[in-house]
Structure 1
Amino acid sequence: MILRSEKFQVEVTEDKTFTIQSTDNKPYDILFNPENLSWRDITKAFRIKIKSNDRERDIILIGSLYCYDADCGILEENKLIVLMNCAVTIINIEECKILRYKKFSDSGCYFGIYEFQNGYIVYGELEIVKLDKSLNKEWDFSGADIFVTQDKNVPFQISGDKIKLYDWNGVYYELDMNGKVIYDTFKINEVSPQILDI
């Protein structure tokens, strides 16, 4: 993933060769391990390459094995917001230091983080989570099944101030900016129980 601002270009990729405490690792300027994970833990490492007019820095960020580098970051001026599964790290890329680290959940896998309504939306397998700029959870939403599809429907999409979702069974949901359901085909198609006379 490549992110650009006026001052910086940031590239986030997985370093598949990195092992904690190995002498065979590529050289990095800075290593961030906010959870203090060890070589015994199952981890993944993101290489964060920062380019500016006057220098280049290489950072390694250690986190959960269950994270993906495709939609993992947001660049806001001199801050890089990085999602690694259920944890978010905010890095000051000018000073190369962690400003904030927070775990927001303990369940499921999380695939991407996006700017949304003065905060962030995190797209997860089991839930959609809205975080504020301080990484506090404002709301979450879960459907009848996981937000992964087995057909051509796009499982997660932000459209203006709405979030559009499809789950595994093809159920469509639409949320407003406050996480309230606008449309839910599961509830529309639900059959109300019949009262049987005996």
Structure 2
Amino acid sequence: MSLNKFFEDYRLCIFDEKDCIRNPVNGELEYNYIHINEVDKGCLNVTKHGINVLKNDIILGSALVISSGGATCVHPNSAIIDNNSVLICCGDSIFCLGLPHLNLLWQTKADLATCFGIYRYQDEYVVHGELEISCLTRNGEIRWNVEGKDIFVTLNGEDVFKIIEGYIYVKDWNNHVYRINASTGQILKDRYEILAGLPASGLMYVSISQDEIPNFSEGFVVRFFKSDGSNWVGNFQCGWTNYSRVFDFPHFNKTVVLASGACYIMIDDNLKPSKILGVGITDVYQTGDNTLILVDQTEFIVIDINNDNVWQSDRISWDGFKDLVFSGDTVSGLAYYPSNDDEEWCRFSFNFRTNEIVGGKYRIKTKTKPWWKVW
């Protein structure tokens, strides 16, 4: 893969260099510069990225950066241009080269394994590494770095790293989300903790149910950590399914709790939910722009965290879905239709942006006023 960056009248082409180009006559590498740390010269497993500087599609200069550590490839976040320099992730290091000549300004080993991406933040650089998140000064000095409980990468590679209004949000292999102060490197404490059961001591838990029942048996128990340092425990009344999970959105001060199919939206440090939705939720799909699509047994519920908007689709199935596939803005699969003796499962698709439904057999328009309770 190659990546194009632009500087003044020049175009930089950065590319994966697996088979280094050599002069057919003398066998020497065909680059103006070869940048490699002395320690890495004896390593067999190294990553190599090439850089060409072009003007009017004519190559004016070139460089090769070589580093050990985990293998990297060129992608949109693996290099940035800052003033008169280009910064490139290669293996476990960040290379800073001067423009337009590609001379080495500095090289910093920014991760114990692999540097996945580099981002400009204020007057410094934040590096998304495999084992560390680090902040580099403009001179390449590491000002702070932090580690997590596991590697900072997920199985599907989606929505792993973001910088939003001074905070870094990064996921590890177990989909645990870390919130890091981009200026200080401080990992902020989790806003919640799922408990195995009701605590035997401490403050009395808070019972949270759809019908405001003051006391009921143990449900889905979550401890919340408030902004003032205190905490409280919520005992959420369960719904009808086995699906329980917590989705936290610190940037919006919202937490969505799924308690065995019942959904509760918690805002700020409030001990009462702002909305309570459904009892038969079996799964949840999260988009990259903070939208949750809740799969109920007969329809879908959409929660737009950004705009505090909640709505539900028309009823699509008599009772249940299967073989669901989420792609783009659409969920498709099979809806249950027992009245059809030949084919009980009917194919459908649902666009959760436009509420357009294609296929399926059951059609009852939802009421204008949602049935769920709003505090």
- TM-score scaled by length of structure 1: 0.80
Say if 2:122 is the partner of 1:110: no
2:165 equivalent to 1:160: yes
Which residue is 1:80 aligned to? Answer: 86
Contact 1:175/1:183 (<8 A) preserved: no
5 Å-filtered alignment, 1:26-175, equals 27-35=30-38, 37-38=40-41, 41-52=44-55, 56-64=60-68, 66-70=71-75, 71-105=77-111, 107-151=112-156, 153-175=158-180
* Identical positions, percent: 21
Q: Which has the higher contact order (CA 8 A, sep 6+)?
A: 1
- What is the CA–CA distance in structure 2 between the aligned matches of 1:19 and 1:40, rounded to whole Å? 19
Structure 2: gaps (5+ residues)? 202-375
Q: Rate the CA distance shift 1:151–1:38 in 2: closer, same or farther, 3 A.
A: closer
Once the 2 structures are TM-superposed, how far is the Cα of residue 138 of structure 1 from its aligned partner? 1.3
RMSD: 3.2
Tell me, what secondary structure is at the counterpart of 2:159?
coil
**Following the alignment from structure 1 to structure 2, what is the Cα–Cα distance between the partners of residues 35 and 45?**
15
Superposed CA deviations along residues 4-58 of structure 1, whole A, max 9, x for unmatched, are 1333221111111128999667633332333364476222221101123686222
Tell me: CA distance 1:94–1:5, structure 2 relative to 1, closer, same or farther (3 Å): closer
Q: Judge conservation of contact 1:147–1:165 (CA < 8 Å) in 2.
A: yes
Q: CA deviation at 1:74?
A: 1.5
Aligned length: 193
Aligned residues of 2:23 and 2:29 also touching (Cα < 8 A): no
Q: Deviations over 1:130-181 (max 9, x none)?
A: 1111111111122222211135751111223221111111212222222223
Gaps of 5+ in 1: none
**What SS does the corresponding residue of 2:38 show, helix, strand or coil?**
coil
| SS class of match (1:32) | strand
1:189 aligns with 2:204: no
Distance change (3 Å), C-alpha of 1:143 and 1:55:
closer
Instruction: Tell me which moved more, 50-59 or 112-121.
Output: 50-59
Query: Which AA in structure 2 matches 1:82?
Result: I
Aligned-partner Cα distance in 1 for 2:152–2:66: 26
CA 1:101 to 1:20, structure 2 compared with 1: closer, same or farther past 3 Å?
farther
What is the letter of the counterpart of residue 48 of structure 1? I
- Which stretch of the first structure deviates more once superposed, 169-178 or 46-55? 46-55
CA contact (8 A) 1:172 1:183 kept: no
Q: Distance in 2 between matches of 1:86 and 1:148?
A: 15
Counterpart-to-counterpart distance in 1, 2:131 and 2:194: 21
Q: Which amino acid aligns with 2:67?
A: G
Paired residue type of 2:7: S
Letter in 1 for 2:60: E
Q: 1:49 to 1:40 in 2, by over 3 A?
A: same
Q: CA deviation at 1:119?
A: 0.8
Q: What residue is the counterpart of 1:16 in the other structure?
A: 18
